[in-house]
Each structure stands twice: as structure tokens, then as C-alpha cells.
């Protein structure tokens, strides 16, 4: 039971909205780094899905303004840069948020 309480405390110290907002400002650069095989198409970044044997770009895309992303071939989707990072790097939302916060210089809540 203590591990659940510790997890809740850790999640409460993460300012998810602030991290997502900061990440949106850098999203074009982030997706170029995270999904280097992709390309900008209109307001989206279209790439191969790094989590499956995707052979043709097109079904996996990230909206560069909102951070919403989806793989239309398999139905995986998310609504922000943190969920995208968690998906791409196969980690938890909390760990993805912490990593982004450090990279972007966003401070944790006290």
C-alpha cells in the first residue's frame, strides 16, 4: 500500500499541464528527433510508427499545434506531448513527464 501512496505523491508533484505547454513550443524539433524518418505534411508530422514494423509513413501522425497523435492503422492515440513521449519510449506518463521537464527546464511543483 505504501508504494501506491508514494506513486500518488510523485504524480502530484509533476505539473503535467506546464510540461505539455512547454513541449508544444518545441514539438517540431522534438518529433524530428524522436521520429527522424518522418516529414512535415501540412500541420502534422507523418512518420513510421517506432513501436511496430511499420514500412510506410502515413498512418502515424502528430499534430504539431496540439500534440495529439495517432496510429490510424492500429488505433493507438494520445492527446499531448507527454503521452507521445511515453508511447515512443515505452515508459510511464510520469517518467516521460519528468524527462521532458528536465530537458525543457520546467520546474516541479512543490
Residue 72 is predicted with a pLDDT of 87
C-alpha cell read off for 62 = 502528430
Q: pLDDT band at residue 7, thresholds of 50, 70 and 90?
A: very low
Handedness of CA 40, 45, 50, 56 (dihedral sign): negative
In a domain, 54, yes or no: yes
Nearest-angstrom CA–CA distance, 97 and 12: 12
Closest CA to 57 of 68, 67, 44, 66: 44
17: domain CATH number?
Answer: 3.90.580.10
In a domain, 22, yes or no: yes
Nearest-angstrom CA–CA distance, 17 and 23: 10
In a domain, 36, yes or no: yes
DSSP readout, 40-86? EETTEEEE--TTTT--STTSEEEETTT--EEETTTTEEESSHHHHHH
Q: Convert the pLDDT of each residue in 85-107 to its tens digit.
A: 999 999 999 999 999 999 998 86
The domain tally of the chain equals 1
Tell me the residue range of the domain where 86 lies.
2-104
In a domain, 46, yes or no: yes
In a domain, 109, yes or no: no
Q: Convert the pLDDT of each residue in 42-61 to its tens digit.
A: 999 999 888 887 777 778 99
In a domain, 110, yes or no: no
Nearest-angstrom CA–CA distance, 37 and 102: 25
Nearest-angstrom CA–CA distance, 40 and 64: 9
Amino acid at each position: 500500500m505504501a508504494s501506491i501512496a508514494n506513486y500518488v505523491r510523485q504524480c502530484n508533484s509533476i505539473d503535467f499541464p506546464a510540461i505539455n505547454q512547454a513541449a508544444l513550443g518545441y514539438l517540431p524539433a522534438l518529433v524530428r528527433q524522436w521520429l527522424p524518418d518522418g516529414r512535415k505534411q501540412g500541420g502534422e508530422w507523418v512518420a513510421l510508427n517506432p513501436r511496430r514494423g511499420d514500412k510506410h509513413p502515413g498512418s502515424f501522425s502528430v499534430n504539431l499545434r496540439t500534440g495529439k497523435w495517432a496510429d490510424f492503422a492500429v488505433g493507438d492515440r494520445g492527446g499531448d506531448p507527454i503521452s507521445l513521449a511515453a508511447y515512443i519510449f515505452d515508459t510511464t506518463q510520469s517518467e516521460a513527464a519528468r524527462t521532458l521537464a528536465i530537458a525543457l527546464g520546467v520546474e516541479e511543483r512543490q
